[in-house]
Amino acid sequence: MTTLDTAPQSAPRASFLNDPVIRGIIYQVVVAVILIAFIVWIVGNTAANLAAQNKTTGFDFLWKTAGFDISFSLLPWSRGSYYWEAFLVGLLNTLLVAFIGIVFATILGFTLGIARLSSNFIISSLATVYVEVIRNIPLLLQLFFWYFAVLKAMPAVRQSIALPYDSFINQRGIFVPRPIPDEQFGFVWIAFAIAIAAVFLMRRWARKRLEATGQRFPVFLTSLVLLIGITAIGWFVSGASVAFDPPVLERFNFTGGLALPPEFVALAFGLTIYTASFIAETVRAGVQSVNHGQTEAAQSLGLKDNDRLRLVIVPQAMRVIIPPLTSQYLNLTKNSSLGAAIGYPELVNVFAGTSLNQTGRAIECIAITMLVYLVLSLATSALMNWYNGRVRLVER
C-alpha cells in the first residue's frame, strides 16, 4: 500500500505586481515623477521664453512708483504711490465689496428662502419669481444693467436727485454726509466691544438656564438693551461726539461728504441680489429637509409660528444649509473680480490689470492675485467649517 502525503501544501506565492500595496506605491511614484517632470518643463520653458524676450523676473517692482490714478480707495493714494500700495488698495476694495455682499446677501437670501415656504400665495409667488429670474440671468449682464442702464442713466450733477439726510444721487454716484468722530470716540468702540462680549455671555447663560430649568429668557430684547445701553453709557461718560460733513454742490461737482462711486454701488448691489437668489434656494432646501414631525412636535408644545421656526426648524436646517452656503460665499468673493468689467478698482483690475500692463511682470502679478483668492477662500472655508461644527447635531 502506498502512503498518501497529507502534509499541508503552502499557498502559491502571489505575484509581485498583484500585491495591491505594491501596485499603489508604483502608481503614486509614476504620477509623482510625471508631475515633477511637467513642472520642471513648465519652469524651464517659461525661463527660456523670458530670456528670449529680455524680460526679468522678481518682485522688486513692488517698490517702484505706480504712476496711475485709482478712482476709489480706502487708503491715501496718489500717482507717486508704490505698486505694493496699489496691491493693498485693490485688496481692500475687494474685501469691502465681498463683506458687504456677504452680509446683505445672507439677510436677503434667508428672508426669500423662508418667504418661498410661506402659506401666503402672493408672498411665496413673488419670492419664487425673484429667485427664478435673478439666478437665471448671468451676473455680468446684471452688473451691466445696474451700471449702464440704471446708475449711468441718472441725472447730471447739476440735476442731482435729493435724498433724505443731505444725500444726493446722480450719474457720478451717491453722495452722503461723512461722519467725523472726535478723539474720544475710541471709548465708544471699547464700550461697544464690551457690550458684544456681554451679549455673548448672556446668551450662553440663557441657553444653560433653558436646558436646566426649561424656562426661557428674553434673549433678543436683553441683547438690544445691552448693546444700546452699554454703548450709550460709554458715549455719555467719554463725552464723545460725531460731526457730519455734508456734500455741497459746487460748480461742477460735490465737495465734502462721502462719495460712493457708481462702480462700487453697482457691483455691491449686483453681487447681493444675485447671490441672495442662490442662498434662498439653499435655505428653502434646508428647511424642507427637516422632518415634518418636528413641526408637529413643536405645535404640540404650544410654540408660536416664529418660535417654531427660530427654535426648532432653522437650528436643524443649518446642518444642511451651511455647506452650500459656504460655496455661495466663496463664489461671491471670486465674482467680485467681475468689477473690472465696469471699472471698479478691485484686485484684478488694479493689480492684475493696470499694474501688470505697466510693469510687464505677468507671472508675479497673476501669482500674487491667485494666492490672495486662494487664501481668502481657505479662510472662509475654515471659518464656516468651524461654525458648521458648532451647529451640527450631536448624537446622544
pLDDT at 326 over 90: yes
> Which pLDDT value is given to residue 14?
53
Query: Tens of pLDDT along 119-173?
Result: 889 999 999 999 999 999 999 999 999 999 999 889 988 888 888 888 899 998 8
In whole angstroms, give the CA distance from residue 220 to residue 306.
Answer: 13
| Confidence at 46, pLDDT banded by 50, 70, 90 | confident
In whole angstroms, give the CA distance from residue 29 to residue 34.
Answer: 9
- Three-state helix/strand/coil letters over 309-339: HHHHHHHHHHHHHHHHHHHHHHHHHHHHHHH
Encode 52-64: b = buried (16+ Cβ within 10 Å), e = exposed.
eeeeeeeeebbee
In whole angstroms, give the CA distance from residue 58 to residue 364.
Answer: 7
> Which pLDDT value is given to residue 316?
81
In whole angstroms, give the CA distance from residue 135 to residue 289.
Answer: 22
> Which pLDDT value is given to residue 1?
47
pLDDT at 7 over 60: no
> Which pLDDT value is given to residue 139?
95
Encode 313-332: b = buried (16+ Cβ within 10 Å), e = exposed.
bbebbbebbbeebbebbbbb
Q: What is the sign of the dihedral through the CA atoms of 109, 114, 117 and 119?
A: negative
Q: Determine the average pLDDT of the residues in 283-290.
A: 87
| Confidence at 8, pLDDT banded by 50, 70, 90 | low
Instruction: Spell out where 104-231 has E strands.
Output: 161-163, 167-170, 173-176, 178-181
Phi/psi at 175 (nearest 5 deg)?
-115, 120
Q: Which three cell numbers stand for residue 238?
A: 467719554
| Confidence at 15, pLDDT banded by 50, 70, 90 | low
State the residue for C-alpha cell 468689467.
341
In whole angstroms, give the CA distance from residue 134 to residue 271.
Answer: 11
> Which pLDDT value is given to residue 390?
77
> Which pLDDT value is given to residue 28?
92
Given a contact cutoff of 8 angstroms between Cβ atoms, the answer to whether 306 and 136 are in contact is no
**Helices vs strands, H then E, count in the chain:** 13, 8
| Confidence at 387, pLDDT banded by 50, 70, 90 | confident
Query: Tens of pLDDT along 47-82?
Result: 788 778 777 778 888 999 998 999 889 899 999 999
Q: Determine the average pLDDT of the residues in 366-385.
A: 94
Q: Which three cell numbers stand for residue 226?
A: 445691552
Local structure of residue 156 (DSSP, 8 states)? -
Q: Which three cell numbers stand for residue 11?
A: 499557498
The proportion of the chain whose per-residue pLDDT surpasses 70, expressed as a percent, equals 94
Query: Tens of pLDDT along 249-280?
Result: 887 888 888 889 999 999 999 999 999 999 99
> Which pLDDT value is given to residue 275?
96
CA–chain centroid gap for 378, Å, is 12
Helix H or strand E segment including 245:
strand 242-245
